[in-house]
Amino acid sequence: MKHVLSTAVLAVSITLALAACGNKSAEPAKDAAAPASKADAHAEEAEQALTGKLNSYIDCYNDVDSGIHQGIGYYTSWMTDPKAGPTGREERPIGPPDLDADDLKTCDAAIPTAIAAAPALPELDKAAKAYLDSLHTLQPLTHAAYDYYKREDFEDDGYARGKAMHAPLMDALAAFVQASGVFSTALEAENDRAQQAQLQALEKQEGRTRTYYRLAIMMEAKSLMDLMAEDDFDVVQGRARLDAFNTIADEAHAKVADQEPGKMDWNSFETAAENFRREGKERIKRVAEKTPYTDFEQRMLDSPSHAPQGSAGRLLNEYNSLVFQSNRQ
């Protein structure tokens, strides 16, 4: 990411890793089985430690990342040249995303603790430290600029302070975007590995429960989202992944949708899954038919909430809604 920030950068929320699954029996094991029992206990402790560490990182990421990325788009959208910054002739300026000291409390508590916690994950731990450092560099700059535009101080000084703040702010935003990309990539890779292992353990220990289906649906959704992020994705592969998502979602509906307790919450999750499924179909259709975006749709491609149907941004919005519902379960 160079000095000029693209408004196309939109953060993907990350679904929370599950708590370690399955409780072992407290009944004393026979002598012959004791070593295996100890091995199982150690494995479960290791799983719980990894899950806690990843969830701490994810809590921080989901708490601040998306809002900052979206705010970057708003801040740069009204400038003719975001690299040059405001000219002083703009009529409706929008300030950058706000970060006050309280906004970083989750990250300040979670990241140092997670870095120190076992297991050591050198690549992810290093990326998390750089991410937190970028947030602390960005916080005073973006907060000051946010207040400046919110209070409309540019009307009093002819954008003088806005112009002076712009270059350091853009440097800090660019550094954040870089750190965010490295952190999210490393975090998603570790989270994917952990979730795949947990999915297998869940099915082995408990069968295909609601917990199993929630995780399986989210893994298929992420696979689909990753594939369709760009307009040149393989449509045949896209249809195959959408079919896989449909299969597990339909199976879950037949097996666990009517279970109590938690039926209403599950129905909300299923509604979000259905919206994501529908938008996945629209995404495939648009790319398969090579349907061009209208001039208006082109302007909306980077909009956090008004991306056109069949676009990567629209699918991303539905995916993040699904993540939200998943994390509520």
Assign 198 a pLDDT band (cuts: 50, 70, 90).
Answer: confident
Q: Is the pLDDT of residue 69 over 70?
A: yes
Q: For the ranges 20-29, 135-144, 270-279, which has the lowest average pLDDT?
A: 20-29
Rounded Cα–Cα distance for residues 163 and 84 (Å)? 9
Assign 16 a pLDDT band (cuts: 50, 70, 90).
Answer: low
Q: Is the pLDDT of residue 22 over 60?
A: no
Q: Is the pLDDT of residue 47 over 90?
A: no
Q: Residue 257: its pLDDT value, please?
A: 96
Rounded Cα–Cα distance for residues 266 and 272 (Å)? 10
Rounded Cα–Cα distance for residues 56 and 58 (Å)? 5
Assign 18 a pLDDT band (cuts: 50, 70, 90).
Answer: low
Burial classification of residue 44, based on how many CB atoms lie within 10 Å of its CB (0-12 exposed, 13-18 middle, 19 or more buried): middle
Q: What is the DSSP string of 169-205?
A: HHHHHHHHHHHHHHHHHHHHHHHHHHHHHHHHHHHHH
Q: For the ranges 39-53, 61-75, 80-94, which has the lowest average pLDDT?
A: 39-53
Task: Give the DSSP H or E segment for 56.
Answer: helix 34-77
List pLDDT tens digits, range 76-135.
989 999 999 999 999 899 999 999 889 999 999 999 999 999 999 999 999 999 999 999
Q: For the ranges 151-155, 173-177, 197-201, 262-266, which has the lowest average pLDDT?
A: 197-201
Q: Is the pLDDT of residue 26 over 60?
A: no
Rounded Cα–Cα distance for residues 89 and 225 (Å)? 40
**Omega of the bond leading into 119 within 30 degrees of 0 (cis):** yes
Report the share of the chain in percent with pLDDT over 70. Answer: 88
Q: Residue 42: its pLDDT value, please?
A: 78
Long-range contact pairs involving 300-305 (C-beta distance under 8 Å, separation at least 24): 301/8, 302/6, 302/7, 302/8, 302/10, 302/73, 302/77, 303/73, 304/10, 304/70, 304/73
